[in-house]
Amino acid sequence: MKKLVVILIINIALFVLVIQACKKEKTPTNPTPVTSTNQLSYFKIFTGSMANLNPASGFQPYNVASALFSDYAEKQRLIKIPAGTKLTTSGDGLLQFPDGTVIVKTFYYYADVSNPGLGKRNIETRLLQLKSGVWSVSTYKWRDDQSDADLVKDTGDTLAVSWKDATGTTQQISYQIPSVANCKTCHYSNNTVVPIGLKARNLNFNITVSGNEVNQLAYLSSLNLLTYSGTIASVPDYNDLTADLSSRGRAYLDINCAHCHNATGSASTTRVHFDYGLTLDQTGITSFKSDILDEMQTKKMPLIGTTIVHTEGVALIQQYLNSL
């Protein structure tokens, strides 16, 4: 009898062990959470597959009227501010940002610009983070499999990129991903790092939301993300052929050149400044027309951020300068 009891106990114990083993096999192994800022996934900017660039909760898409030329790259722009805070305007210029703000810009190329459905390739994501009143910059290079992006250190990086443009022509470049030092050169003002594109006048235009056109400043305000007041000027899209030529030319020079060529930027000592808010006489543009065009045509300027000449931009500025 005792032997039967012992055998029964052993069988029960073996049965329990088998059941536990089966449960372990059926229980999926959780991936190791990313705990290092060396990976873009650490910041939880995107939801679902990162490659799709679907913004996570709290990251608000925005756009600019006139965009910086970056070797024809497409861009997704996002901003996140701490709950209970708001962005505020300071005249027509750069917004005022609450501490804890995160600004995200991802650069990518469609395989075929005329057919976005064929897919895209994410190249890099740049972050600006405001902590204790100081902006920090970092750049992340996307992996070939698009599963994540890794922090770019020291000297930056280069990447062979090809795509079909709107005419069906295959374009190939050696894309340059900036180092932190490169980023700081452009984002430099009054001995500190600042954002560039988020100026009230460059956000003051109509966007499409759920099929309806709405002013972007008003839309951000309706989301309780922005407080603005007073009359704010607007900057045209320099690609808009229906807009005034002078305004288009000034808008192009403002977004592509003024971040360095201004009274407090890294090119403050030069005799030409491109801030859109200045009068033409204050800029020095008329005195240096040939120099400006030569710098653009020979790819001497801008120093950072492009590897090829912006053909359409040169044509616009040439037309604009000839009109002066």
Q: Which among 258, 204, 178 has a CA at the least distance from the CA of 63? A: 204
Q: Which among 258, 286, 262 has a CA at the least distance from the CA of 68? A: 258
Give the start-end residues of each E strand in 5-133.
60-61, 74-80, 87-88, 102-110, 120-131
Q: What is the pLDDT of residue 35?
A: 65
Q: What is the pLDDT of residue 51?
A: 97
Q: What is the pLDDT of residue 63?
A: 97
Per-residue pLDDT of the chain (324 residues; tens, 9 = 90+): 444 433 434 444 434 333 344 444 333 344 456 668 999 999 999 999 999 999 999 999 999 999 999 999 999 999 999 999 999 998 999 999 999 999 999 999 999 999 999 999 999 999 999 999 999 999 999 999 999 999 998 788 999 999 999 999 999 999 999 988 888 888 988 888 999 999 999 999 999 999 999 999 999 999 999 999 878 999 999 999 999 999 999 999 999 999 999 999 889 898 899 999 999 999 999 999 999 999 999 888 887 889 999 999 999 999 999 999
Q: Measured between alpha carbons, how far is 320 from 309 in angstroms, rounded to an integer?
A: 17
Q: What is the pLDDT of residue 34?
A: 63
Helix 245-257 vs helix 311-322: angle between axes, to the nearest 10 degrees?
130
For the sheet with 149-151, list strands across it: 60-61, 74-80, 102-110, 120-131, 134-142, 149-151
Q: Measured between alpha carbons, how far is 65 from 127 in angstroms, rounded to an integer?
A: 21
Cα radius of gyration rounded to whole Å, the chain: 26
Q: Which long-range contacts (CB under 8 A, 24 or more apart) does 40-48 make?
A: 40/125, 40/140, 40/142, 40/148, 40/149, 40/150, 41/148, 41/149, 43/102, 43/127, 45/78, 45/104, 45/125
Helix, strand, coil proportions of the chain in percent (round to 5)? 30, 25, 45
The answer, as to whether pTM is greater than 0.75, is: yes
CA 300 to each of CA 264, 289, 293: distance values in angstroms, whole numbers, following the listed order: 21, 15, 10
Residue with tokens 């060529």: 261
Locate the domains of the chain by residue range.
Answer: 33-235, 240-324
- Respond yes or no on whether the N-terminal peptide bond of residue 302 is cis (omega within 30° of 0): yes
